[in-house]
């Protein structure tokens, strides 16, 4: 087994530029925002070629399939070759704009406001 058949998930996500820093990648793993093959991944979990990695950021999932294992950070052109991007396109701007935004410091929503929010979200 060669030494680069597997690598830590936090190191790989940082190396292929899914995260800006290695510490952000580790924190995302710790918070449960990184999944490998559908399971929550700890920072030290290994990834290998063929694994599906999901990264949750800004409310959306980035879904990639590992095609090449790298341990050190690589350039943007090389990083794109290390995974296959299966991320669905972002929703249209109209749908994103429908989400209500509450003013900061207004406290918890009232029961009436909560029901209106749930109705708007379709629950």
**Stronger pLDDT, 61 or 121, i.e. the higher one:** 61
Nearest of 64, 14, 17 to residue 36 by alpha carbon = 64
Q: Are 53 and 35 in contact (CB under 8 A)?
A: yes
In the chain, what percentage of residues exceed pLDDT 90? 61
The tokens for 53 are 């990695």
Nearest of 8, 43, 48, 40 to residue 24 by alpha carbon = 43
Question: Mean pLDDT for the chain?
Answer: 87
Lowest mean pLDDT among 21-30, 40-49, 103-112: 103-112
Note the pLDDT tens digit of each residue in 57-116: 887 889 999 999 998 999 999 999 999 999 888 777 665 555 667 788 888 888 998 898
């Amino acid at each position: 087994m060669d030494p680069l058949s597997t690598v830590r998930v936090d190191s790989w996500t940082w190396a292929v530029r899914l995260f800006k820093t290695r510490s952000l990648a580790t924190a995302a793993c710790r918070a449960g925002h990184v999944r490998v093959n559908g399971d929550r991944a700890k920072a030290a979990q290994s990834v290998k070629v063929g694994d599906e990695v999901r990264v949750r950021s800004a409310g959306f999932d980035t879904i990639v399939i590992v095609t090449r294992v790298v341990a050190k950070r690589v350039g943007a052109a090389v990083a794109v070759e290390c995974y296959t991007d299966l991320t669905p396109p972002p929703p249209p701007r109209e749908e994103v704009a429908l989400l209500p935004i509450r003013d900061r410091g207004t406290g918890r929503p009232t029961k009436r406001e909560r029901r209106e929010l749930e109705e708007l979200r379709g629950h």
